[in-house]
Homo-oligomer: A and B are copies of this chain.
Amino acid sequence: MDLDERKLKILKAIIQNYLETGEPVGSRTISKYTDLNLSSATIRNEMSDLEELGLIIQPHTSAGRIPSDKGYRLYVDQMMLEKEEQLNQATKEVKEMRELLLEREDKMESILKQMAKMLATNTNYATMISAPQVRGNKLKFIQLSRVEATQLLTTIVVEGNVIKNTMITIDEPLDDETLLKLNILLNTNLNGLPVEEINLAMISRLKQQAGIYDGIIAEVMDAVAEVIKEDENIEIYTSGANNIFKYPELADNQRASELITTFEEKQLLTELVQGSLTDDNGTGIQVYIGNETPVKTMKDCSVVTATYELEEGMKGTIGIIGPRRMDYDKVISTLKTLKSQLDTIYKKDDKG
């Protein structure tokens, strides 16, 4: 049996109706809903076929049909092709984000937080955004400054402008000359160096050259190590977790608790980020339906992610998490627009 045009139309109608109502759809509904002018009996036959194809499911005898994961998948894939062009309509919603981005470019964290929030408000789903991950880990700049007599401030900058500060307390005050020497020592040896290449031998050589100030070197190196470590556990910002309560199929205690935990812990969400960075299909948009998602606590959800890229090879992920019956159309459009805005805006602006 083949999936002809008409079957496809009916499947689409079923899914769209189910997305709205969350209730199983019956044949009579479709018979009226579509412009096919077919009786409910005909629809029933077709639905029977669709079920055999595994695209829709009957939760129990004498109930309407709901889409299966496979059905959603077909629908989404279909849509991704068709709607390639139509994303303009969602643009207006992203406009405000664009303004937000241009407004204050420095505070990445706050921007991402707000973006997650806005996205959650607009879509009525839970959202997450991962900060761009730095790929190149070259040290760009190291400096020791005296803040008080016995307090030194370490400032470390790595490629991608990730900055790290640490306070170091010393026993004896340092004179200006020594401080300058230490700074020169650090910079001539470490500047431009990929962090991975800093090994024990190099550290001990540095310490040797620093003489009695080897303790300071040690602390600086610790701080450098911190930068990498921080980089490993990706920063993720979430918002709109409460939105899951809007969808009864997710709102029972068991599920809700699990999902809330997932959002709060954030640890598990990194898998989502990794997944969407890996599974790149060219479009930069990923759709995980039900069990397809890499995070098991979300098996009753669907997840749409977009990978955006800033200059210098910094990649981040935006994710929208909702029920299976998510408004894929809107979500994908929104993400596509947002992604393209991010991709371009930053590139433009960073040069300036």
**A interface, CB within 8 angstroms of B:** 106-107, 140-141, 143, 145, 147-148, 151, 153, 155, 157, 161, 163, 165-167, 169, 226, 238-242, 245, 251, 253, 256-258, 260-261, 264, 352
A257 and B239 within 8 A (CB): no
Contact for A245 among B163, B253, B352, CB less than 8 A: B253
| B145-A153 in contact (CB<8A) | no
Provide the bound-state CA to CA distance between A239 and B155, in Å.
31
A selection of 8 A-B contacts at a CB cut-off of 8 Å is A141-B145, A147-B157, A153-B163, A155-B155, A165-B165, A239-B264, A240-B264, A245-B256
Chain B residues closer than 8 Å to A161, beta-carbon distance:
147, 151, 167
Task: Tell which of B107, B226, B242, B253 touches A260, judged by Cβ atoms closer than 8 Å.
Answer: B242
Nearest first, the 9 closest Cβ-Cβ pairs linking A and B are A245-B257, A242-B261, A163-B165, A141-B147, A242-B260, A242-B257, A245-B253, A251-B253, A106-B166
CB distance B155 to A153 under 8 Å? Answer: yes
How far apart are the CA atoms of A58 and B145 in the complex, in Å? 67
Task: Select from chain B the residue with minimum beta-carbon distance to A146.
Answer: B141
CB distance from A231 to the nearest CB of B (A): 14
Q: Which residues of B contact A157 (CB under 8 A)?
A: 147, 153
Q: Is the CB of A143 within 8 A of B141?
A: no
The complex places the Cα of A26 from the Cα of B170 at a distance, in Å, of 65
B153 engages A147 (CB within 8 Å): no
Q: Residue A165 contacts which of B155, B256, B264 (CB distance < 8 angstroms)? A: B155
With A106-B166, A143-B145, A147-B141 in contact, is A241–B260 under 8 Å at CB?
Answer: yes
CB neighbours of A258 from chain B (8 A): 242
Could you say which residues of chain B place their CB within 8 Å of the CB of A148? 140
Instruction: Beyond the given A147-B157, A165-B165, please list 13 additional residue pairs across the A-B interface where CB-CB is below 8 A.
Output: A106-B167, A143-B145, A147-B161, A153-B155, A163-B165, A163-B167, A169-B352, A238-B264, A242-B257, A242-B261, A242-B264, A251-B253, A256-B256
A351 to B, closest residue via Cβ: B169
Cβ A241 vs Cβ B264 within 8 A: yes
CA distance A291 to B256 in the complex (A): 26
Chain B residues, CB < 8 A from A163 = 153, 165, 167
CA distance A240 to B257 in the complex (A): 10
Q: How far is the CB of A141 from chain B (nearest CB, A)?
A: 5
> What is the distance, in angstroms, from A302's C-beta to the closest C-beta of chain B?
20
CA distance A162 to B37 in the complex (A): 70
Q: Nearest B residue to A120 by beta-carbon distance?
A: B264
Q: Nearest Cβ distance between residue A247 and chain B, in whole angstroms?
A: 11
Q: How far, in whole Å, are A245 and B256 apart by their CA atoms in the complex?
A: 9
